[in-house]
Structure 1
């Protein structure tokens, strides 16, 4: 337990506080670990205890043993939403925060009023890393590929819509491919890229658009589109819920763009966690209700 907590927290004082032990007890445990494995395991640095290569290699094996023992000696956990005071930690990009989380919080406040929810702004790779490290319980979003340890439950399949401000010169006519590529485009990219899935689709038609602006999140993108002549191609559910608020108009893109799946992702070690199962079930119902509206 000391080893796994050191790998996660990287500070002996934090491990002592987390486990309810003295720092002396933690130091003795580290000494025994070093003697057992014949390696320093953790090196002191200004940023905390840095694991050695041996420690990094041992971590998944030791974590698996600790989890197996914990499951073996623990009584079956029963989750009662009405009496729960647990904290559910979600990782999501602002698309899912906007389309799924508000209604999910309504369910929480109604069915699990004592539960707390923490939401971290995490995109694909950071969310997967956080799941593997145990820093979050669930991640909402999509990923084309996942490590075997991360499981996902499909919530819905998402398509795309083009958004532009009311009064935009292209708002009065049908969006043709020629007009689409001639316009100046805004793209949502956490890394600041000026190329995305839309450009891959256009390439198949032998076309290229003008991407002049990249922003890291969807809601700022909608605000920018509302006050400029930039247009953007965004997830359809987000557009459907937010276009009116930003006084935007929308239309289908003039080309076929591959849809993507929005899922609830969790680590395999939590596959039987009743709180996680309840949350995923609630999110699935919300997604299904929205699809039927």
Structure 2
């Protein structure tokens, strides 16, 4: 006990630690006050106490907000670990009762994944947890993983071929591809061949604006290439563009077979073999034994099973995660 500064420990309370982490994340006192349900005066008072305890300014005022000092940056991982340990200690013994919970579920993913999971998730919440609410964000891979790590969301859902040791992955479903074109497109009047496929004009979905993806990597292995003339960051703009042009797209199967009728599109199986990919639910290891996250993961797996038997491919007479 001789190495423990008891005076400083007596000055610390959990609210101070939450204020510190909130300021590190938002860099603005007004946002932290709203998040924690405190007044701005309380945030200012907490910051003064933190500066006294750690004998450092911690945050410097700038035009854009508060800038953490080097001491604050070094403290953040230690304080986050303390708060996570306390949270686990407090929540581990409890039993989650969804029918009584007023919690907000927070998930993130690309628009193709959300369009598959959000509708059945809402339906299940109406029955199993009528007081709970759902907040979903359209986030790319890196942003979604950061949000899980920061505790801003419960699950990041998508294709994650690599993630840090602090995150856990559970597979929801396996996805493959379909080729789409507007109704009456000359490409689909005959059998879709490799030659006719690569000669067509393609649209690509890439969250970072790339002009090549998994299809191009697959073609390159056989010495072939296609003509990508447009790139969009989301899947639904790709569907809308294909519906109003002569471009074709190669998009996830579950998205195509559900929404092609809505956009009046036709689809075919690709004439090349493109590797499948898994859609995963990522959570932080701190939530591995959290009853709420265990329950939510089970619900997400149930939602992923919806419409697992897709409609048959239309006959020719009728009809990376970057693709």
Pair in the same fold by TM > 0.5? yes
When normalised by structure 2's length, the TM-score is 0.84
Superimposed CA distance per residue, residues 116-141 of structure 1 (whole angstroms, 9 cap, x where no aligned partner): 10111111111011111111111111
Q: What is residue 31 of structure 1 aligned with on the other side?
A: 51
Q: How far apart, in 2, do the equivalents of 1:285 and 1:74 lie?
A: 25
Which of 216, 220, 230 does residue 199 from structure 1 map onto? 216
Q: 1:102 to 1:23 in 2, by over 3 A?
A: closer
Which of 170, 177, 200 does residue 194 from structure 2 map onto? 177
Q: How far apart, in 2, do the equivalents of 1:57 and 1:103 lie?
A: 43
Q: What is residue 106 of structure 2 aligned with on the other side?
A: 89
Q: How far apart, in 1, do the equivalents of 2:70 and 2:272 lie?
A: 49
The answer to whether the 8 Å contact 1:140/1:264 transfers is yes
Superimposed CA distance per residue, residues 46-76 of structure 1 (whole angstroms, 9 cap, x where no aligned partner): 2222112332232112211222133335572
Q: 1:33 to 1:197 in 2, by over 3 A?
A: farther
C-alpha RMSD of the superposition: 1.8
Q: How far apart, in 1, do the equivalents of 2:256 and 2:186 lie?
A: 19
Q: 1:70 to 1:242 in 2, by over 3 A?
A: closer
When normalised by structure 1's length, the TM-score is 0.92
Q: How far apart, in 2, do the equivalents of 1:118 and 1:68 lie?
A: 26
Q: How far apart, in 2, do the equivalents of 1:41 and 1:252 lie?
A: 57
Q: How far apart, in 1, do the equivalents of 2:90 and 2:107 lie?
A: 28
The answer to whether the 8 Å contact 1:243/1:249 transfers is yes
Residue 262 in structure 1 maps to residue 279 in structure 2: yes
Q: How far apart, in 2, do the equivalents of 1:72 and 1:167 lie?
A: 61
Q: 1:67 to 1:102 in 2, by over 3 A?
A: same
Kindly state the Cα deviation for residue 289 of structure 1 after the two structures are TM-superposed. Answer: 4.1
Give the number of aligned pairs: 290
Kindly state the Cα deviation for residue 280 of structure 1 after the two structures are TM-superposed. Answer: 1.1
Q: What is residue 232 of structure 1 aligned with on the other side?
A: 249
Q: How far apart, in 1, do the equivalents of 2:89 and 2:121 lie?
A: 33
Q: How far apart, in 2, do the equivalents of 1:15 and 1:230 lie?
A: 47
Q: How far apart, in 2, do the equivalents of 1:74 and 1:183 lie?
A: 56
Q: What is residue 253 of structure 1 aligned with on the other side?
A: 270
The answer to whether the 8 Å contact 1:12/1:26 transfers is no
More displaced, 273-282 or 235-244?
A: 273-282
Which of 291, 299, 302 does residue 285 from structure 1 map onto? 302
Kindly state the Cα deviation for residue 174 of structure 1 after the two structures are TM-superposed. Answer: 1.5
The answer to whether the 8 Å contact 2:91/2:290 transfers is no
Q: 1:75 to 1:185 in 2, by over 3 A?
A: closer
Unpaired segments ≥5 residues, structure 2? 1-16, 311-323
The answer to whether the 8 Å contact 1:161/1:234 transfers is yes
Q: How far apart, in 1, do the equivalents of 2:25 and 2:179 lie?
A: 43
Unpaired segments ≥5 residues, structure 1? none
**SS where residue 232 of structure 1 aligns?**
strand
